[in-house]
Amino acid sequence: MKFDHQEYYDLLGQVMPDVVLSHIPPKFLCDNMFNGQNVGSPALTKHIQDSSPKLVMCGHIHEAGPLGGNPHEVKGMAMKDGTVVVNPGNLGRFELVNFPSLETARSFDYGTFSRVELEEDGSPLKVEHYTLSSPENTFGEVIELAEYDLGR
């Protein structure tokens, strides 16, 4: 079944959430792949422009997370039109493979996750990115990568 961007936009417009949890990121915000291509949803970007939700938590594009290493230096957080967009990256081992050889093109060994502190109304106060690292390529201690104090 083909993803219907208009249906997605219409649903967001009907619900008008202050906080959006979406697997797919908005186009041009935390959606940069390892090759620099932006593959997010234009419907979610349009919703942000039209309605300014307070927070969008998204995923799908692991390399747009805090340790993704994409060519545009996206590090798991962006802001647009008063909306904070957070992509926590991936938690656990993840690989991009070449087809048809199935050779590893890029490896994300430890994974990342994010913590967002919210006000009662859903406004983000602070975003923290973390990793779990270990020399043995297993889960290790929690290490803070970045902290953004949004202090609204």
Short-list 110, 137, 29, CA closest to 76:
29
* Coil, helix or strand at residue 11: helix
Short-list 148, 144, 107, 146, CA closest to 125:
148
pTM of the model: 0.85
Of the ranges 55-64, 65-74, 134-143, which one carries the lowest mean pLDDT score? Answer: 134-143
Angle between helices 42-51 and 5-15 (to 10 degrees): 30
- Domain spans of the chain? 5-149
Topology of the domain comprising 5-149: Transcription Regulator spoIIAA (3.30.750)
pLDDT, tens only, 99-128: 888 888 777 666 789 999 999 998 999 999
- DSSP letters, 98-122, are -TTT--EEEEE-SBEEEEEEE-TTS
**152 token code pair:** 């609204």
